[in-house]
Amino acid sequence: MKKGKANKFIIGSVVGVLVIVGGFVGYQVLANSAKDQFTETPVTIGNIVNDNRFSGVIESQSREDVMAASALEISELYVSEGELIAEETDLYEPVSGDLVTSTVAGEVAEIYYDEDETVAAGGKIMEIVDFTNLQVSIKVDEYQLASLAVGAPVTINIDSIGRSVQGSVSEISREAKNENGVAYFTAIVDFQGDAQIRIGMNAEVVIVKEQVENAVTVPVDAIQFGADNENYVLIKGESENAEQRPVTTGITDGINIQIIEGLTENEVILIPLLTTTETSTFQRPETGGEL
């Protein structure tokens, strides 16, 4: 073989190899690029809870500030600080005047005067607080009223002591109040306290709107919309390509969503990776709080 022809043959062979290698590398890059566009996740079974959350401060359901209606001198005290008393318990007797009794049951939280001391008109003589029967007042906008009802069960989370207790809605105002241009209704939640739970602590009130147990669930980011606004998800097909699967959705907690029809447990779905300008289709239900 002549030298020129040999060189051309070698060059052609090298070019051919480079084309093949380049094609293989390009295929791998495209394949990896396609994989990088999705996150694979299995369909799972779990509980879905859609709730409203409100913030408030723990208060006593009943308390009494025992005040002097006029200037008086205390002749005798019948209770002491820390004493638990019932309604209509004798509290004190002035030198001149009638015996004074309590209007609420609770604990004598503090006594400000001793016997034989003089109290000016309007002075606070003692304070009675019910530390057992507690409540939280929450602000509710008009769109959240539908999830409330007197007697509805609620959960009260007290993060500062790591406790959750059960309570119920006892009252919902019939008229809205306006604060800085924002209208809201007031709801009262009652619950039983104990030695750990203190008046003035911050609390979160959780009111369940709807819930489903043992539901087929996927992340909300998995739900896509077609041309006619129908719901579908992408599943991993036999050829490793993404295939569309129509689904019927149920309730969501803002993180996961119920699939009523279209998927079964352990099927693998593909979730498109969001760009910096994209956001999730579904959002967590609005929560209430201090307005």
Residues 228-286 pLDDT 10s: 889 999 997 776 678 899 999 999 999 999 999 999 999 999 998 864 444 444 544 44
CATH classification number, 52-60+133-209, choose in 3.30.70.2740, 2.40.30.170, 3.40.1190.20, 3.30.360.10? 2.40.30.170
Q: Which residue has the tokens 């060059």?
A: 11
Please give the CATH architecture assigned to the domain spanning 37-49+212-272.
Answer: Beta Barrel (2.40)
Nearest to 62 by CA among 147, 170, 224, 140: 170
Q: C-alpha distances in angstroms, 140 versus 143, 159, 223, 247?
A: 8, 21, 30, 34
Please give the CATH architecture assigned to the domain spanning 63-129.
Answer: Beta Barrel (2.40)
Residues 172-224 pLDDT 10s: 999 999 988 889 999 999 999 999 999 999 999 999 989 999 999 999 999 99
32-57 mean pLDDT = 85
* Predicted pLDDT at 181: 86
Give me Rg for the CA atoms of the chain. 35
State the average pLDDT for the chain.
Answer: 85
Give residue limits of the domains in the chain. 37-49+212-272, 52-60+133-209, 63-129
Indicate if the pLDDT at residue 68 is higher than 90: yes
* Predicted pLDDT at 4: 52
Nearest to 76 by CA among 106, 117, 108: 117
d(CA 70, CA 182): 42
The reported pTM is 0.71
Equal CATH topology for 52-60+133-209 and 63-129? no
